Amino acid sequence: MVIQAEQLVEQRKRKRQPEYTLTYRSLYRADGTVKFKLSRELSQIDISTENMLGLTEISVAATIHRASNKAQRSLVRPIDPQYLSHIESLEEFRYIFLQLVRCHRVVHVKTGSVHGDLNLNNLVFMRDEGGTPSSHLNDWDAAKLVPADETYRMPTTRRCAGTAPFVAIDLLCEDPPHLYRHGLESFLYVLIWCAIHLNLNGSEASRIKKVLEGWTHGTWGAVGSHKEKLFASKATKYRKSIYLAITPEFRPIQRWIQTLIYIFDDMESPDAWDEDTLNGTVTYEKFMAAIGENPRITLLDGQA
């Protein structure tokens, strides 16, 4: 089996490098794994989402960089993911979306990492033999460890057209600092995009809806300007056009979008604030409360 083969490789590597400690572990399922690539000084970090996502942890081999005393693990395995457009009911969408938000939170709390590139291509799910979905936050090669006193500046090479609709407004600027709340903002854009384009029957709209075309064309600055319309003090007209474009299938959770927009609407407050949370207005807890969900993650009990 694959898992046994990897364990043997790991055992042999440890015999050659007894001082070597894995930087990360992969998240493994019988039908595939999530791609996970990160670097950090040699230290053991326990990232377990087994209770949350039904995954099993295994160790994988890493490459040791002696000069920098850092270990880098690069894992790219084929998986057979299904994308959000394949979701077939609103109940299933709610479940998968919430699991993705929680997964994003777990990795950040456990490792101090920000994902770096949340978009529809790496928000995926897979089904077990009984058809039950499990969410997977894929493509961690853009992830970065962000210590409490540092920020991560997004590489310009990661600014590809396919991600533009989901990038936080701050990150559309030159050399932007990347913070955890930017991931939450990306989830808002994902939610809006899905509510307007997905049919919840395994298909999606064949063309980008006009109301969101400005999120996909032009310079990054132009894309940011279009998104800012959501949060401007006199943005009622644009917001209304967004709400009117939501498909009938997504109407039951339109309130999610409305309340989340109000959270980010406070970003222009003139008061001094904590940049990482916009003075406490944009946090995981408030994000979940805005959509009426319990923010608790059992795996993180006792942690920040």
Q: What is the pLDDT of residues 71-99, one digit of tens each?
A: 444 444 445 789 999 999 999 999 999 99
pLDDT, residue 19, reads 40
Q: What is the mean pLDDT of residues 167-186?
A: 86
Give the residue extent of every domain in the chain: 1-8+15-79, 81-300
Judge whether residue 221 has pLDDT over 80: yes
Q: How far apart are CA 136 and CA 163, in angstroms?
A: 18
Instruction: Locate 251 and state its tokens.
Output: 């109407």
Lowest mean pLDDT among 103-112, 268-277, 284-293: 268-277
Strand partners, 34: none
Instruction: Specify whether the CB–CB gap between 165 and 189 falls below 8 A.
Output: yes
Lowest mean pLDDT among 61-70, 167-176, 242-251: 61-70
Q: What is the pLDDT of residues 105-162, one digit of tens each?
A: 998 888 888 887 899 988 999 988 888 999 988 876 666 655 443 444 444 434 444 4
Q: Which residues contact 241 (CB under 8 A, 6 or more apart)?
A: 211
Instruction: Specify whether the CB–CB gap between 211 and 218 falls below 8 A.
Output: no
Instruction: Specify whether the CB–CB gap between 34 and 107 falls below 8 A.
Output: no
Q: How far apart are CA 58 and CA 94, in angstroms?
A: 29
The architecture of the domain spanning 81-300 is Orthogonal Bundle (1.10)
pLDDT, residue 220, reads 87
Instruction: Specify whether the CB–CB gap between 100 and 137 falls below 8 A.
Output: yes
- Give CB contacts under 8 A, 24+ apart, made by 127-133: 127/82, 128/54, 133/82, 133/92, 133/95, 133/96
Helices (H) and strands (E) in the chain, counts: 8, 13
Taking phi over 0 as left and psi of -120 to 50 as alpha, with beta for the rest, 202 belongs to left
